[in-house]
Amino acid sequence: MKTAACVAAGGAIGTLARYAVALVLGAPESGAFPSATFTANAAGCLLIGLLGGLLANRPLPEALREFLSTGFLGGFTTLSAFGVETVRLAADGYAAMAFAYAAASAAAGLVAASAGYALAKAVFRNAREDAA
């Protein structure tokens, strides 16, 4: 039950953080690149990569791990908005923008997650070398 409460709390905070990104960046005009969802998803991929690299070196208590991953980052990122924005762009006659958005989102997500993971691994490698 404690872990479920942590997931719920993290999800609420992550969802509010994503909403804040949307407020700051605004809703896209018709046919425009959905920058708020793109930004939230790319940032979330960077953060989950960092968390993955951290967890590969240092386990966290289950409740904290689930608060951060399933809760906060699950609430912050949004595959469903990405999907509907891509479909809407294509349906409204902006197929090139839909393709560009889908390709850029996939590429940015993979690059960001890889960068986050590599950064966390490098930090831990340097910390181990300094301790030796």
User: Residue 61 contacts by C-beta under 8 Å, 6 or more apart in sequence?
Assistant: none
CA 125 to chain centre: 24
Q: Is 109 annotated as a binding residue?
A: no
- The residue length of the chain stands at 132
Could you write out the DSSP letters of every residue in 55-124? HHHS---HHHHHIIIIIIIHHH--HHHHHHHHHHHHHTT-HHHHHHHHHHHHHHHHHHHHHHHHHHHHHH
Annotated binding residue 77: yes
Cβ contacts of 102 within 8 Å, gap of 6 or more: 82, 86
- Residues annotated within the binding site for Na(+) are 74, 77
- Binding site: residue ranges? 74, 77
